[in-house]
Amino acid sequence: MQNKKRVLVTGAGGFIGHHLVKRLKAEGNWVRGVDLKFPEYEASAADEFEVLDLRRWDNCLMATRGDIDEVYNLAADMGGIGYITAFHAHIARNNILINAHMLEASRQNDTKRFLFSSSACVYAQSKQKDAEVVPLREEDAFPAEPEPGYGWEKLYAEELCRYYWHDYKFETRIVRFHNVYGPLGTYDGGKEKAPAAISRKVALAQDGEDIEVWGDGKQTRSFMYVDDCVEGLIRIMGAITATLSISVPTNW
């Protein structure tokens, strides 16, 4: 039987973080959840849940206290494409502060491993203009041409994780999320992703009524069920290689 670990999940009030906490608890781990808010639709399974603003250095030190073995850093100012294209400076500033502070606080408090949640928004925009585009590979993030604001911030934070391994031998993991869906996900308010937004529009539409979907109808997207996402996170965190950069596939 595996040893019980002490795990910190930031962004535990969000969709993926909430599901990750439940899975970690089901496997017998002690879990601290941290976020700006509690989960919207269900109480957290975390042993401790603390409402903290992780843009502040002192709060990051507090979150990582107490012999934490692993940090899943899912905290981020994010949302659907409408949100992340409207607030470049606001989003980039918030996330830069969260990620830089959480990395350093985790290192100073002797956390054993740190996972950073990046995004498919790091990929070069010029490689996503054609509806016949071939599936993207990890290396397609370079030469760098990510989504403005949110994508640039995520790409640099990936590099920062690599610097922490190179300079301090602090073990980091990097994942790139793309359209995770499933139960208990945000479905309105401007920060919902495409699957939830489309489902909401269909559910609210009257018989025979049209719904609006962005684009010209030729775009393709990858979607990943939240349980598969959580499975990927746990496998990647448990991998032996010291620094990983992995796009979790949709058919894990």
Domain residue ranges in the chain: 6-181+223-246
State whether the Cα torsion 47-49-54-59 is positive or negative: negative
Residues annotated as catalytic are 150
Burial class (CB in 10 A: 0-12, 13-18, 19+), 202: exposed
Q: Which amino acid is at 98?
A: I
Is the pLDDT at 217 greater than 50, yes or no?
yes
Question: What digits encode the pLDDT tens for the residues 109-139?
Answer: 999 999 999 998 899 888 877 777 778 888 8
Q: CB-based contacts of 65: which residues, under 8 Å, 6+ apart? A: 109
CA 218 to chain centre: 27
Are the CB atoms for 54 and 102 separated by under 8 Å?
A: yes
Residue-level pLDDT at 243:
46
Q: Tell me the average pLDDT across 136-165.
A: 93
C-alpha radius of gyration, the chain, whole number: 18
Nearest to 10 by CA among 47, 56, 60, 58: 60
Residue-level pLDDT at 230:
97
Which fold is adopted by the domain 6-181+223-246? Rossmann fold (3.40.50)
Is the pLDDT at 1 greater than 60, yes or no?
no
Q: Which amino acid is at 9?
A: V
